[in-house]
C-alpha cells in the first residue's frame, strides 16, 4: 500500500534541491543505478540542480543509466520539441552520463510494437528502474498514459487527448504542430520502479493532486495507481499542496 512521504517546498528551486537530494542518495548507494526521467517544465529546476551538483563534485553520473518516460510520435532527436532533444539540452549534455546509457523511446520507429518491446527489455536488462521521476498532467496522466478504461501495462503508443495537446502547445508554434500521438512507458513499467518521486507545483495542479492521492484508484485518473506503490515521495509547493487539504 501507499507509503507517501510528503515534502513541502516554497519555490521551484527548493523543489529542485529536495528532489536532487533523493537522486543523490540513490546514486551514492548505487553508482550504476537506473533513473527514470520525465520532461515538462516542472523537472527543470531538478535538472539544473543535478548539473550543479556534479560540477561541485557531489554526484557522479558516469556509471548511471537513464530511461525516459515518453516521446512524441513522429519527432526525431533533431526536432526542437522532441523529448530526446529536451533531455540533451536540459541534462545529458551537461553531465558525465554516457550517451549509450540514456534511452528515450524512438519517436521515428517504423515498427512501434517492436521498439516498445525492446525498450522494456533494455530496462529489464539494466535491472529495472531504481528511481522514477514523475510530473503530473492536469488530467492525471503520468508519462503520456492518458485517462482511459484500463491501465496499460507496458510501453505503448497512445493517442494524446485534446487537453494534453492544449497544455503542451506552449512549446510549439501552433496547436496543429503538436503531435497527436506518443510513445510512453506503461503504468506497469512505472509501477515496477523501486522508488518514485513525484513533483507538483502550481495552483492549477492542486485539484489533480487531490484526485491522484485521495480519490478512487481508477484508470480515469492514471496517476491514482500510485496509491498502490510502496515508496512514493511527493514534493509539492504550497499552491499545489492546497490539494492535500481539500
Catalytic option among 54, 71, 130, 146:
146
Whole-angstrom Cα distance, residue 180 to residue 124? Answer: 29
How long a stretch of residues is the chain?
246
Catalytic residue among 49, 54, 120, 139: 139
- Shortest distance, position 145 Cβ to ligand GLP, whole Å: 9
Residue 27 binds to ligand GLP (criterion: CB under 6 A): no
The reply to whether 146 belongs to the active site is yes
* β-sheet with 232-237: strand ranges across: 4-9, 232-237, 195-200, 131-134, 34-37, 65-68, 102-103
Which SS3 state, helix, strand or coil, does residue 131 take? strand
Q: Is position 235 an interface residue for ligand GLP (rule: CB under 6 A)? A: no
The whole-angstrom separation of Cα 222 and Cα 180 is: 19
Site residues for ligand GLP, 67-106, by CB under 6 A, read 69-70
To the nearest whole angstrom, how small is the minimum distance from the Cβ of residue 125 to ligand GLP? 24
The single residue among 27, 35, 39, 116 that binds ligand GLP, judged by CB under 6 A, is 39
Stretch that binds ligand GLP, among 34-42, 60-68, 114-122, 150-158 (CB under 6 A): 34-42
Task: Name the minimum Å distance from CB 32 to ligand GLP.
Answer: 25
How far is the CA of 238 from the CAs of 9, 89, 175, 200, in angstroms?
A: 7, 29, 31, 10
| Region label for 137, one of left (φ > 0), alpha (ψ between -120 and 50) or beta (otherwise) | beta
Pick from 97, 71, 55: nearest CA to 155: 71
| 70 catalytically annotated | yes
Q: How far apart, in whole angstroms, are the C-alpha atoms of residue 184 and residue 45? A: 23
- Residue in 16, 137, 140, 152 binding ligand GLP, rule: CB under 6 A: 137
Q: Does 136 bind ligand GLP (CB under 6 A)?
A: yes
Among 45, 140, 143, 243, binds ligand GLP (CB under 6 A): 143
Q: Say if CB 166 and CB 204 are below 8 A apart.
A: no
Cell, residue 57: 563534485
Cβ atoms of 154 and 88 closer than 8 Å: no
41 lies in the site for ligand GLP, by CB under 6 A: yes
Stretch that binds ligand GLP, among 32-40, 172-180, 190-198, 215-223 (CB under 6 A): 32-40
Annotated catalytic residue within 54, 141, 229, 237? 141
Q: Which residues are annotated as catalytic?
A: 70, 139, 141, 146
List contacts with ligand GLP (CB under 6 A).
38-42, 69-70, 135-137, 143-144, 164, 168
Amino acid at each position: 500500500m501507499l507509503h507517501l512521504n510528503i515534502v513541502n517546498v516554497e519555490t521551484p528551486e527548493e523543489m529542485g534541491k529536495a528532489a536532487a537530494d533523493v537522486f543523490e542518495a540513490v546514486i551514492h548507494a548505487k553508482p550504476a543505478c537506473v533513473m527514470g526521467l520525465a520532461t515538462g517544465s516542472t523537472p527543470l529546476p531538478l535538472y539544473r540542480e543535478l548539473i550543479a551538483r556534479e560540477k561541485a563534485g557531489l554526484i557522479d553520473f558516469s556509471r548511471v543509466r537513464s530511461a525516459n518516460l515518453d516521446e512524441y510520435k513522429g519527432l526525431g532527436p533533431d526536432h526542437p520539441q522532441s523529448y530526446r532533444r529536451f533531455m540533451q539540452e536540459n541534462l545529458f549534455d551537461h553531465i558525465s552520463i554516457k550517451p549509450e546509457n540514456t534511452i528515450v523511446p524512438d519517436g521515428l520507429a517504423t515498427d512501434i510494437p517492436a521498439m516498445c518491446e525492446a525498450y522494456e527489455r533494455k530496462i529489464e536488462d539494466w535491472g529495472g528502474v531504481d528511481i522514477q521521476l514523475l510530473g503530473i498532467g492536469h488530467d492525471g496522466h503520468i508519462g503520456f498514459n492518458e485517462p482511459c478504461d484500463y491501465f496499460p501495462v507496458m510501453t505503448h503508443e497512445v493517442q494524446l487527448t485534446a487537453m494534453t495537446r492544449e497544455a503542451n502547445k506552449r512549446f510549439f508554434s501552433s496547436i496543429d504542430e503538436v503531435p497527436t500521438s506518443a510513445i510512453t512507458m506503461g503504468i506497469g513499467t512505472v509501477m515496477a520502479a523501486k522508488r518514485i518521486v513525484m513533483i507538483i507545483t502550481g495552483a492549477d495542479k492542486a485539484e489533480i493532486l487531490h484526485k491522484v492521492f485521495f480519490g478512487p484508484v481508477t484508470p480515469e485518473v492514471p496517476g491514482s495507481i500510485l496509491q498502490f506503490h510502496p515508496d512514493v515521495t511527493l514534493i509539492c509547493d504550497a499552491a499545489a499542496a492546497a490539494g492535500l487539504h481539500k
